[in-house]
Amino acid sequence: MDGMLIKYLQEYSTLKRGKDVESEDSLLDYYPHGAEEDSYPTEEEQAALDAQNLAARQELLAKIARNRELREYALGINDLDVISGIYHETRSGWSTSFTPQEIVGFLGSPLPDLKAECDYLISLVDRGILSFSSRPDTDFHTNITEILEGRYKLNGLLWNVLLGKSPLAAGLEIIERADQAGCNILQAVYEGLDVLYGHYPELKQSGRSAGGLCYGRVINPLLDAAVEKLAKLKSDDPLKSFVTWHELDPFWQKCLFLIFYYQRSDMELDIAVNILAALLSTDKSEYQCAYEALNFNNQLETKGLVKKDEISRFSRDQRLSEDVFRKLMNPSQAEARDLKAAISNSEYLELIEPAQNLDQLILPREDFGRIRAIIARLKDPHGKELAQWGLLGASLGGDESVHQGCNILLHGLPGTGKTYIAGVIANETGRPLVTINANNIRDNFYGVTEKRARALFAEMRKVAAEENPVFLLNEGDQLIHKRISNFTQSADNTENTIQSIFLEELETFAGTLIVTSNLIDNMDPAMSRRFHYKLQTPVPDEACRLRLWELHLPETIPGAAEIDVRPLAAAFEFTGGQIRVVVQNACHEAITRGTGAKLEANDLYRYAHLEAGSSFEAAAKKVGFKLHEGNG
């Protein structure tokens, strides 16, 4: 900030009032030296004095306008007359609000007519030099009454620049520290906006009366910094998962932040559409685009994040639903708490918190792309559009929700990352992961297992409708397998009944279910079309094995950075699970060597040979990562 601005403004104010400038740094003394107090200058002398005065004011204007933060205001001599007049009145009489007559009265030269005066007042507001209160249902650009009856203030942005304060810098510093000391992005946004609102009183005006606001130049940098910071966080961050799941682009993220701030600051204070648009705009054109988006294509309303208010379009308030507000207040716990409560008494379902993310998933490029394709589908199933296209679902009742469902089968050798992929899919789509306890479904008594299987799906459907998690059935072949054609005992009939239940339920399940299996050959062929995707997780090739070794040997392990793992990747055709076991065993041995111990290559080779010689897994060739799409 330029500390001279306020000094220049004071000099300008003194010059304009036609008095001696007392500062020894004054640019000039414009009264002739030696003139008597009661003498008056001649017409020629007065013209010379006026020319000197104007030149001095223009020189001060040039100095003030050079300030980087003032360039966008395009200040002219009339503007500085108004600003200096407000400054003088505020300093001498603590006045902050002025009538139109008082504003034009500050001008050194009068404007020719009323139209010119109104046009100039509108220009001052549009350029953010002044702000004033007006009715939100009236456009002050076309209604002269609004202009003539308004009360005008020097815009808070301009005041802070002139006073040498930098609330935006303080707010941006808070955003920059957002990932430290346990402060999440939303909390940082709240604190940063609180700094701005503390310096700019106009922001606190009621949404029903505030007009002429143009704060995009200070609000947007802070919110843009928050959006950028959020984009760099890991995909499992709760707030990032929230905006990813709801597919909120930067504009709607910023709207969400502002609405949250208003709602958290005062539970009775909402923000009207016109004020929200003005806060995010720097000029009339931007305002119009934002206003139309909020009124006619409001993504927050479409996605059910804010309550839809059917009152007048112009003043429609934006208020987050209670559920969304609660989740944002504590994004890391709200969703988990809701789901935990929903399944707390379940015998079959359990909530887990996976840490996997897409950045850590190691697969060949083509296979990796297919996982991304599944994630994209789950983020936006296009259920209504598909129904409109006339796409046939399995539901006899024509239930459109069936198009939202997605059943995925991940099959392959143990340790090839099937469960890991399930965690990635859950995190990347911003959904909780719920595991299914298959052991609790089976029972020794006839008929009980069938009842439990149906009870399981009844619970899953209810939870899917309310919370929309990703369900995971590990080792699904223990429940889903080939039907028995030649009965030898009553248990065979029970097994077939279970298969029929799963076939029927999966046909119309509207949620997301991932089933993993090591024994794909044991599954019933009829089950194949119940899965929208059937993916074979490959045994990693040498390039993937190298990346897996590097993943499991972070630099936090003493000695790990000194070990060349390329020979290990070439020599041992391990899965990711086997590599993890080798590293864990080697580290356990290395740490027993006491103080200063570190992992050595020999430790890894020793346990790699043991794993290769004792593994139950048959040597496998990569068959490929096949993608089949079912009929839905």
Does 102 or 162 have the greater pLDDT score?
102
Topology at the third CATH level for domain 542-614: Helicase, Ruva Protein; domain 3 (1.10.8)
Query: What pLDDT is recorded for position 553?
Result: 93
Q: What pLDDT sits at residue 382? A: 64
Answer yes or no: are the C-beta atoms of 13 and 85 closer than 8 Å.
yes
Map out the domains of the chain as residue ranges: 5-162, 167-329, 334-383+398-482+493-536, 542-614
Quick: pLDDT tens for 442-489: 776 657 888 888 888 888 888 887 778 899 998 887 777 666 655 555
Q: Is 596 within 8 Å of 555 (Cβ atoms)?
A: no
Write the DSSP assignment of 509-568 as a string of letters: --SEEEEEES-GGGS-GGGGGG-SEEEEPPPP-HHHHHHHHHHHS-TTSTTGGG---HHH
pLDDT tens digits, 173-207: 899 888 664 568 888 999 999 888 887 766 665 44
Confirm whether pTM is higher than 0.75. no
What is the four-CA torsion angle of 75, 78, 79, 84, rounded to 10 degrees?
120
Helices (H), 266-333: 273-279, 284-296, 299-302, 322-329
| pLDDT, average across residues 349-356 | 83
Candidate from 48-62, 105-119, 201-215, 495-509 with smallest mean pLDDT: 201-215
Strands 533-536, 271-272: parallel, antiparallel or unpaired by DSSP? unpaired
| 224-238, 582-596, 603-617, range with greatest mean pLDDT | 582-596
Share above pLDDT 70 across residues of the chain, in percent, rounded to a whole number? 78
Q: Per-residue confidence at 615, pLDDT binned at 50, 70, 90?
A: low
Report whether pLDDT(623) > 50.
no
Amino acid at 405: G
Rounded distance between C-alpha atoms, residue 612 and residue 622, angstroms: 17
Task: Give mean pLDDT, residues 107-123.
Answer: 92
| For range 323-334, the mean pLDDT | 71
Mean pLDDT of the chain: 79
In angstroms, how far is the first alpha carbon of the chain from the final one?
62
Fold of 334-383+398-482+493-536: Rossmann fold (3.40.50)
Residue 35 has pLDDT above 60, yes or no: no
Bridge pairing between strands 512-517 and 152-154: unpaired
The CATH architecture of the domain made up of 5-162 is Orthogonal Bundle (1.10)
Residue with the bigger pLDDT between 484 and 261: it is: 261
What 3-state DSSP class applies to 130? strand
Q: Distance between CA atoms of 93 and 111, rounded to whole angstroms?
A: 26
Q: What is the pLDDT of residue 214?
A: 61
